């Protein structure tokens, strides 16, 4: 079986699955990413009202489902009744919001790796129940999944909690938006013994990529989609690139 942490770089990381053509963060998009030759799949997770893990990017259900309101205002069962496909195209009607455990298990059966990005909204400084980080680490532990999983977050407290819970977890420190300072991120990466720094393409110059790599960390860059963007990203020497169009990137590498 292929070890996803050992595949040649740059890794083709399907951002929210093959989300350029299929509804993001759905089983359909993940399956299509596998068929399209991605090395890794990235997805986003948040908590439902009843503290189940929901695979979704936004803090609300509005953009990607037919429900409306904050993810945390709905139970998991309610969210699973939503149509998460029609917004992309009517032909994807009724594609559900997937269950993380099913996605993870199907990725574990493949040669791909899974990047679980914990949304900042899911981090609780004083957890009101089982923290999301505990659920994720327990699952990875029970499935022997640490060697095929990368946990990442813009919420560095969430990464610190994962590290407290597991020495085996591989961590990606996300940089951009709310956490723009890559030098600060580098310090954190040392403290947490992280695997990678995951950089916004806006700051991922060749120089920055090389500097971070020379400190012993991998560099994964998000999110590059056009052929031009992908070519530029590949030339930075990044170890992996998040893209909504995995076949496009794959064809540039072959």
Integer Cα distance of 39 and 99 in angstroms: 21
> Which of 21, 24, 39, 44 contacts Mg ion by CB under 5 A?
44
Which of positions 147-166 make contact with ligand G3P (CB under 6 A)?
152
From 16, 57, 148, 161, the catalytic residue: 57
Chain centre to alpha carbon of residue 253:
22
At closest approach, how far in Å is the CB of 254 from Mg ion? Answer: 26
Do the Cβ atoms of 83 and 168 come closer than 8 Å? no
Phi, psi values for residue 193, rounded to 5°: 50, 55
The reply on whether position 117 binds Mg ion by CB under 5 A is yes
At closest approach, how far in Å is the CB of 19 from ligand G3P? Answer: 9
The reply on whether position 24 binds Mg ion by CB under 5 A is no
252 in catalytic set? no
Which of positions 177-206 make contact with ligand G3P (CB under 6 A)?
198
Return the beta strands (E) in the chain as ranges: 11-15, 40-47, 53-55, 113-118, 149-153, 170-175, 196-200, 218-222, 240-243
Which of positions 6-65 make contact with ligand G3P (CB under 6 A)?
15, 42, 44, 57
57 in catalytic set? yes
Integer Cα distance of 45 and 179 in angstroms: 18
The reply on whether position 123 binds ligand G3P by CB under 6 A is no
Residue among 39 and 117 whose Cβ is closer to Mg ion:
117
At closest approach, how far in Å is the CB of 179 from ligand G3P? Answer: 11
Please report, for the chain, how many H helices and E strands are present, in that order: 9, 9
3-state secondary structure of 29: helix
Positions annotated as catalytic residues are: 15, 57
Q: Which residues bind ligand G3P (CB under 6 A)?
A: 15, 42, 44, 57, 117, 152, 174, 198, 222-223, 242
């Amino acid at each position: 079986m292929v070890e996803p942490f050992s595949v040649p770089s740059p890794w083709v990381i399907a951002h929210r699955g093959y989300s350029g053509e299929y509804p993001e963060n759905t089983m359909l998009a993940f399956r299509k990413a596998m068929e399209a030759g991605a090395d890794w799949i990235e997805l986003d997770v948040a908590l439902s009202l009843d503290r189940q893990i929901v695979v979704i990017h936004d803090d609300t259900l509005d953009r990607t489902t037919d429900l409306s309101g904050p993810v945390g205002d709905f139970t998991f069962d309610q969210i699973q009744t939503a149509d998460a496909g029609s917004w992309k195209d009517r032909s994807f009607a009724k594609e559900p919001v997937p269950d993380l455990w099913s996605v993870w298990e199907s990725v574990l059966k493949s040669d791909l790796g899974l990047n679980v990005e914990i949304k900042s909204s899911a981090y609780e400084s004083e957890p009101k129940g089982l923290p999301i980080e505990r659920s994720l680490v327990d699952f990875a532990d029970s499935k022997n999944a640490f060697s095929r999983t990368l946990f990442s977050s813009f919420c560095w407290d969430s990464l610190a909690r994962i590290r407290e819970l597991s020495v085996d977890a591989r961590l990606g420190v996300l940089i951009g938006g709310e956490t723009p300072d890559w030098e600060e991120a580098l310090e954190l990466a040392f403290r947490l013994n992280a695997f990678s720094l995951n950089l916004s393409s806006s700051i991922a110059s060749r120089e920055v990529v090389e500097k971070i790599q020379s400190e012993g960390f991998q560099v994964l860059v998000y999110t590059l989609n056009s052929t031009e963007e992908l070519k530029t990203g590949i030339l930075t020497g990044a170890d992996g690139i998040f893209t909504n169009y995995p076949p496009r990137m794959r064809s540039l590498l072959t």
